[in-house]
Amino acid sequence: MLLCVEDLRVGYGPIEALHGITFGVREGEIVTLIGANGAGKSTTLMSIMRLPPPEAPVYHSGKMIFEGRDLTQFSPHHVVSRLGISLVPEGRRIFGNLTVWENLKIAAYAHEDRQEIQKKTKRIFGLFPRLEERRHQAADTLSGGEQQMLSVARAMMTGGRMMLLDEPSMGLAPFLMYELFHVLKEINQQGTTILLVEQNARIALKYAHRGYVLETGNILLEGDARELAKDEKVKKAYLGE
Amino acid sequence: MTLSIFIQNVMNALQWGSFYALIALGYSMVYGVLLLINFAHGDIFMVGAYIGFFISTFLLGAYGFQLPWKLSGGLVIFLTFLLTMALTAGVGVAIERVAYRPLRRKGVSRLYLVITALMVGLLLENGNLALLGASRRNFPELIPKVLYSVGGVNFSNTKIIVIIVTLLVFVFLQTVVLKTKWGMAMRAISYDRMAVPLMGVPVDTIIVMTFVLGSSMAAVAGILFAVSYPVLEPYMGALVGWKAFIAAVVGGIGEIRGAIAGGFILGFTEIFVATVFPSTFRDLIAFGVLLLILTLRPNGIFGIARRTKV
């Protein structure tokens, strides 16, 4: 396992948000966490990134191990810069007051190796030619779809080992959504492990290898993505069939 | 008003505007990064003036302690600025560490941070009073005063120095904020603080750097002020600090250009109000004008409305 989460309990103030969830992600996989609003999907990702409260939850107990290292010992920027885990946050969270190019540069903040940055930049612009065209534009002038691309591009720049994505399909037109998932598949094939949180279970299960169903802070189901898509309960609750 | 008096007043306005601008920078930068109104900042200016006093008198050998080598006048000035800026920056960073960071870690509302800042300011004033007593101190003549008279306009070299230093500081900070990766991180934090660690950027380091920059600029203001008006007392930072804060808001808080513009606007209004009205009217009318500016542009001159996030 590349990432191993065991009996994780976290909460906001006195309220516990995750009641001891256990799941794992193997090297090279695309794993998805699906579930309704408030199931704890974003909470799980923010816990892994070690983001501080009040936006993110407070860690209570349980294990989070990445490549044999205890994540609870890392500060958020070290999770990114030392372990190579990146998060594409819900709502994109691009820096609208910076240019597209500056958004990528700040994502390379912790990198020293210029050649490595150049290589990554080339890869990013290869996948997202629109961003290269607009690199001198302020990021808040981009369309919603382009902002999502920029958010993914930033995550590619910071990390490389593993990418977490929080609702990347939100607010995207269907064709843009498929374009995005196509790119994610390519990023995965180039060697980045992906943990994907989605409300759109249909598309998530289509692209993922494995999936977990999260409900009110507990893991309800887990399994091969294709099997899950056929599961009666999943079909009824998340695929609307 | 004759032309020479007018120019004389412009010089005074630029000088006072410079003091306000230099202090306003610190309010503005810290606000930009932390959304914290650091009400202790005016008192950091006072601390800067005092540190400058002790360092310059020490270097000039006023403590019966002679340095083993003779320092030239220029070197004394240079060392005074350098050491004062470094030590005052240390004070600013220490305040951040001891007072603000623990609260931030607990994720408390910003209101508590602002109240803490007010208390820190009072601590600095009264700490100074307790340690050094109520007696005023005379700042040494660090930069020998030279008076020029050009076409009926009289001005001193210190005035020119104050104005030039302020402009240099402005160019320096604009460059830092717009051209370096730390400045980029500062701008990013002001837009979305939560997303910044996700970029692998250590937010606390950037915050410390902001306090270093803001406090050392307050130190520059402190020395320049003391050189121009060489009497130091523990409450010297209180009113000037409040005014500089208002200048920062009028210019658009969080913006370097805003702090500079706001500082000069305040300087000009104060000086020119005082030339027309009795001097007791000065602050009343000056702040009335600023209130009017804020009514017309609530975000300040360079400020943009902050996107409120859900």
Please enumerate in sequence order all residues whose Cβ is within 8 A of that of B144, keeping only pairs 6 or more positions apart, or say none.
B73
The verdict on B255 and B155 lying in the same domain is no
Question: Is-contact B100 B36, C-beta < 8 A?
Answer: yes
Q: Which token pair is A144?
A: 């919603």
Residues of chain B with pLDDT under 50: 308-310
Per-residue pLDDT, B309? 38
B190 touches chain A (CB under 8 A): yes
Structural domain of residue B291, as residue ranges?
238-303
Question: Is-contact B52 B141, C-beta < 8 A?
Answer: no
Which chain B residue has its CA at the smallest distance from A163's CA? B198
Chain A residue numbers with beta carbons less than 8 Å from the beta carbon of B201 are 77, 106, 109-110
Nearest to B197 among A77, A98, A105 (CB): A77
Binary contact (B191, A98; C-beta < 8 A): yes
Min distance A5 CA to chain B CA atoms (Å): 20
A153 touches chain B (CB under 8 A): no
The verdict on B255 and B228 lying in the same domain is no
The verdict on B171 and B267 lying in the same domain is no
Residue B248 included in any domain: yes
Residue B5 included in any domain: no
B109 touches chain A (CB under 8 A): no
Nearest Cα to Cα of residue B15 among B148, B145, B158: B158
Per-residue pLDDT, A85? 97
What is the CA angle B82-B87-B91, rounded to 5? Answer: 145
Question: What gap in Å lies between CA B67 and CA B49, rounded to an integer?
Answer: 22
Name residue B3's amino acid: L
B192 touches chain A (CB under 8 A): yes
Residue B112 included in any domain: yes
Would you give the DSSP letter of residue A138?
A: B
Which chain B residue has its CA at the smallest distance from A90's CA? B195
The verdict on B77 and B125 lying in the same domain is yes
* Residue B60 three-state SS: coil
The verdict on B290 and B188 lying in the same domain is no
Nearest Cα to Cα of residue B29 among B288, B299, B225, B252: B252
B202 touches chain A (CB under 8 A): yes
Q: What is the total residue count of chain A? A: 241
Min distance B205 CA to chain A CA atoms (Å): 11
The verdict on B127 and B246 lying in the same domain is no
Chain B residue numbers with beta carbons less than 8 Å from the beta carbon of A93 are 192, 194-195, 198
Residue B205 included in any domain: yes
Question: Is-contact B187 A97, C-beta < 8 A?
Answer: yes
Binary contact (B201, A87; C-beta < 8 A): no
* Residue B281 three-state SS: helix
Pairing of strands A30-34, A210-215: parallel
Chain A residue numbers with beta carbons less than 8 Å from the beta carbon of B194 are 51, 55, 89, 93
Quick one: how far is CA A84 from the chain centroid?
Answer: 13
Per-residue pLDDT, B308? 44
Residue B2 included in any domain: no
Question: Is-contact A51 A85, C-beta < 8 A?
Answer: no
Question: How many CA within 13 A on the CB side of residue B61?
Answer: 9
CA trace torsion A88, A90, A91, A92 (10° rounding)? 0
Question: What gap in Å lies between CA B193 and CA B78, rounded to an integer?
Answer: 37
Q: What ipTM is given for this predicted complex?
A: 0.93
Question: What gap in Å lies between CA A87 and CA A210, rounded to an integer?
Answer: 19
Per-residue pLDDT, A112? 84
The rounded radius of gyration (Å) of the Cα atoms in chain B is 20
Please enumerate in sequence order all residues whose Cβ is within 8 A of that of A199, keeping only pairs 6 or more positions apart, or say none.
A34, A35, A36, A37, A167, A169, A170
Binary contact (B194, A76; C-beta < 8 A): no
Q: Which token pair is B215?
A: 């406090």
Chain A residue numbers with beta carbons less than 8 Å from the beta carbon of B197 are 49, 51, 75-77, 80
The verdict on B52 and B80 lying in the same domain is yes
A54 touches chain B (CB under 8 A): yes
B188 touches chain A (CB under 8 A): yes
Distances (CA, A) of B194 to A92, A157, B34, B190, B254: 12, 18, 12, 10, 18
The verdict on B99 and B162 lying in the same domain is yes
Examine the fold and report which residue of B179, B202, B234 is the final residue of a domain before the chain moves on: B234
Phi, psi (degrees; rounded to nearest 5) at B231 = -120, 125
Mutate to test the interface with A, among B113, B198, B256 (most CBs of A within 10 A): B198
Residue B21 included in any domain: no
Nearest to A106 among B201, B203, B307 (CB): B201
Please enumerate in sequence order all residues whose Cβ is within 8 A of that of B297, keeping only pairs 6 or more positions apart, or say none.
B303
Examine the fold and report which residue of B185, B211, B234 is the final residue of a domain before the chain moves on: B234
Binary contact (A97, B195; C-beta < 8 A): no
Count of domains forming chain B: 2
What is the phi-psi region of residue A16: left when phi exceeds 0, alpha when psi lies from -120 to 50, beta otherwise?
beta
Chain B residue numbers with beta carbons less than 8 Å from the beta carbon of A51 are 194, 197-198
A93 touches chain B (CB under 8 A): yes
Min distance A192 CA to chain B CA atoms (Å): 17
The verdict on B258 and B195 lying in the same domain is no
Residue B310 included in any domain: no
Mutate to test the interface with A, among B34, B191, B199 (most CBs of A within 10 A): B199
Residue B17 included in any domain: no
The verdict on B145 and B269 lying in the same domain is no
Distances (CA, A) of A114 to A117, A230, B45, B114, B216: 5, 47, 41, 41, 32
Binary contact (A102, B184; C-beta < 8 A): yes
Nearest to B195 among A75, A81, A89 (CB): A89
CB pairs under 8 A between A and B: 75
Q: Delineate the domains of chain A, giving CATH numbers in brackets.
A: 3-239 (3.40.50.300)
Output the tens digit of pLDDT for each of chain A's 241 residues: 999 999 999 999 889 999 999 999 999 999 999 998 889 999 999 999 999 888 899 999 999 999 999 999 999 999 999 999 999 999 999 999 999 999 999 999 998 889 999 999 999 999 999 999 999 999 999 999 999 999 999 999 998 899 999 999 998 999 999 999 999 999 999 999 999 999 899 999 999 999 999 999 999 999 999 999 998 888 888 887 7
The verdict on B90 and B217 lying in the same domain is yes
The verdict on B190 and B283 lying in the same domain is no
- Which residues in chain B belong to E strands, given as ranges? 137-138, 147-150, 153-156, 231-232
Per-residue pLDDT, B305? 66
Examine the fold and report which residue of B234, B261, B287 is the final residue of a domain before the chain moves on: B234
Question: What gap in Å lies between CA B191 and CA B240, rounded to an integer?
Answer: 29
Per-residue pLDDT, B272? 92
Would you give the DSSP letter of residue B141?
A: -
